[in-house]
Homo-oligomer: A and B are copies of this chain.
Amino acid sequence: MFGTSKDVKNWNRERSETRRNQWGSTRMKIRGPGDGPRRSVPFQRISITGIHITGVPLDDLKRSASFLINALSLRKNYMEISNQSFPDDLAYYLTHNEGPPYFNDNKEKPQNNEAYLRFHPDLDEKYCDLTTCSSEELLNFQQIDRHNLRSETDRRIQDSQEDLQDEGPGDEDPWNCPTPPDRHLVYRWKHGVVQVYKNKEDAYENKKMNYRYLSFKQYVEDMSLLTDMISDGPLKSFCYRRLSYLSSKFKMHVLLNELHELALQKAVPHRDFYNVRKVDTHIHAASCMNQKHLLRFIKRTLRAQPGQVVALRDGLPITLKAVFEEMQLDAYDLNVDILDVHADRNTFHRFDRFNAKYNPVGESRLREVFLKTDNYMNGAYFADILKEVISDLEDSKYTYAEPRISVYCKRASEWGELAAWALRRRVYSSHVRWLVQVPRLYDVYRINNLLKNFQEFLNNLFDPLFKVSIDPHSNPELHKFLTHVIGFDSVDDESKPENPNLTENMKTPEEWDDEENPPYAYYLYYMYANIVMLNQLRKEQGLNTFVLRPHCGEAGPPAHLCAAFLLAENISHGLILRKVPALQYIYYLSQIFIAMSPLSNNSLFLRYHRNPLPDYFSRGLRVTLSTDDPLQFHYTKEPLMEEYGIAAQAWKFSSCDMCELARNSVLMSGFPREMKQRWVGLTYERAGAAGNDIARTNVPDLRLTYRLETLRAELNNLFGV
């Protein structure tokens, strides 16, 4: 805030000299009480001793444990058959009723893996030295064995090459991929779920392929078990206590270790929060640009191509200029206020108004012209503006995104059109993977007689996928496009009234011809069940599989979160977890990733300072920061950085916290394994510090060791009784 003084200078000089002198001095090891004789990442640990370690009566503990283990087993089963991921650690507990052996001692170095060993020659000793520093020294810590860390001089060159590896597609066809041959399989719809047969004869005889499958009846049973469980009084208390305990423990961890964490981060050459990889895990393609960007794009297009025919009305062509003339607007007039796409005070708890904000100038025709893939111009403008956003992403280099692109399921041709749009207009980037979002709008189409029943909705969604997965040559464009699709999202206003309870006697999709929308959990099951079949089929073909990452728990009943707990690999939002301790606790135990968008919530459902993200994060839930809709919520040209920045300011996140959030976003994302290895470490799939490479993530091992040990302590409580 002001000039330096000679005193300050002297003081600084003295201090740094002292530091240097002390540097090589006695190396007494300070260890946490829980350390024992084991050799492991050293930091200040909090250990709990005594008998009643969970703070509840033993009977309550036993009862709660059986509930929770049961729920976790259910999820394990659902994830396995759908080819979605489930933590190895937890799977081990569920199988062996105890934790896996603790590998972190020597980080179990992959043998003969030079690239890995490079960074971890004397890992533990390095840390042990650090523990001998006073806190003042740690705070000003700089010189620590940085030279050890970079003993190989050409590492940096290699790094730069690695950094370059995921640059743009170059000249070759970005959509190039192997195309397996036609398998001539046959599929049939049965009660809303596809069944696959080897050939027509088998289909006739109903001799299904050996695919695993979970019936709707089973799902209804499991759901009712979960919904009973989350309202169980003693369990609620138990989970609430554990979550509070986890918060307090993290707070203590930070108070004891934050200087240490910071010192370790400083010791990593080159890497900092700005150049760790961040994935925007929840963003909608139609609103991924900010409002000023969209405004400029519209103005520019209107000036450059006024005569472009953009639509037909009553069979007559209508030009871009004419569209604007009808609205009595010209390019110069337009401003952000007229564009009127930003959320404001009037959108809070008004999802209807928020949805209307997707229409620039309140006009759905502008949305049609500029933000749709399937309009008169085959989405030319939308492709152009998306490519501008993507190019900004590529420029910023460390930022990636998983935008949602819509398939409405009104027509079976939508998939083909979407793929054609992406391929022919080269809407591609190594910085982008797509999620397909399916709006829950069956009721609207039904009322307008576009569909007869819910089965047709499912047909439009899945028929093209099964066809192209069985015979990729049947639609090469779609086949190629799908290699860049990582999964499915289910979207709409969750606060709409519905009957959240499922019964096994509910109408099947063929029977569901009501004008009423099916409930959330019904939609989700039929997406899941068909993804199960599709993934098994695609896996056999050597094709990529899909995950289910629905919007869930943004509002509405907790039942949505129960459904996603069973069916979805990970979710967006999860705000409602704050009201349901038992669910929050099992989301924690099963380490389900949650893409949270506090700025979006702030405009729609929950004020920023009440957002549960910092609580979730401190407890160890795997949260990420995402933007949702930069068009509606953000002000700067770097929406994801804005989202991180505000969170850091509002919740006083440290650099370590921020980097952990960024690492979570990479782990949650659907980018290919090789890219993730480059971004966060070769062994990223492993739990705790063993899966961390601080040189890439800037997250100190000790933070991840804390997370892992804390999680294992919780699981030991449950499995130990």
| Cβ–Cβ contact B266 & A337, under 8 A | yes
**Best-buried of A4, A147, A358 by chain B (most CB within 10 Å):** A4
With contacts A262-B337, A333-B269, A491-B2 taken as known, whether A361 is within 8 angstroms of B12 at the C-beta atoms is no
Q: Tell which of A166-174, A196-204, A206-214, A639-647 binds the partner.
A: A639-647
Complex: A191 Cα to B140 Cα, angstroms: 45
Q: Is A183 an interface residue (CB 8 A)?
A: no
Contacts of A513 in B (CB 8 A): none
Cα distance A150–B295 when bound, in Å? 20
Interface pair B12/A654, CB less than 8 Å apart: no
Provide the residues of chain B in CB contact with A579, threshold 8 Å: none
Question: Which residues of B have CB within 8 Å of A8?
Answer: 355-356, 364
Partner of A602 from B265, B649, B698 at Cβ < 8 Å: B649
Contacts of A648 in B (CB 8 A): 635
| A146-B328, A356-B8, A649-B646 known; A3+B439 contact, CB < 8 A | yes
Interface residue ranges of A604-662 to B (CB < 8 Å): 608-609, 629, 633-638, 641-642, 644-646, 648-650, 652, 654-655
Query: How many residues on chain A are close to B (CB under 8 Å)?
Result: 100
Q: How far is the CA of A51 from the CA of B654 in the complex (A)?
A: 56
In the complex, A546 has a CB within 8 A of chain B: no
Q: Are A332 and B441 interface neighbours, CB within 8 A? A: no
Report the separation of the CA atoms of residues A645 and B346 in the bound assembly, to the nearest whole angstrom. 17
* Cβ contact within 8 Å between A364 and B12: yes
Cβ contact within 8 Å between B362 and A2: no
Provide the residues of chain B in CB contact with A629, threshold 8 Å: 1
Q: Give the distance to chain B from A254, nearest Cβ to Cβ, in Å.
A: 9
Q: Is A394 in contact with chain B by the CB < 8 A criterion?
A: no
- Given A272-B336, A274-B336, list of 10 further CB < 8 A pairs? A2-B406, A4-B355, A4-B364, A16-B362, A271-B335, A344-B652, A635-B642, A636-B642, A637-B638, A642-B645
- List residues of A whose CB falls within 8 A of some B CB: 1-9, 12-13, 16, 139-140, 142-143, 146-147, 150, 156, 258, 262, 265-266, 268-275, 284, 292, 295, 327-329, 332-338, 340, 342, 344-346, 351, 354-356, 358-359, 361-364, 367, 406, 408, 437, 439-441, 444-445, 447-448, 450, 491-493, 551, 599, 602-603, 608-609, 629, 633-638, 641-642, 644-646, 648-650, 652, 654-655, 698
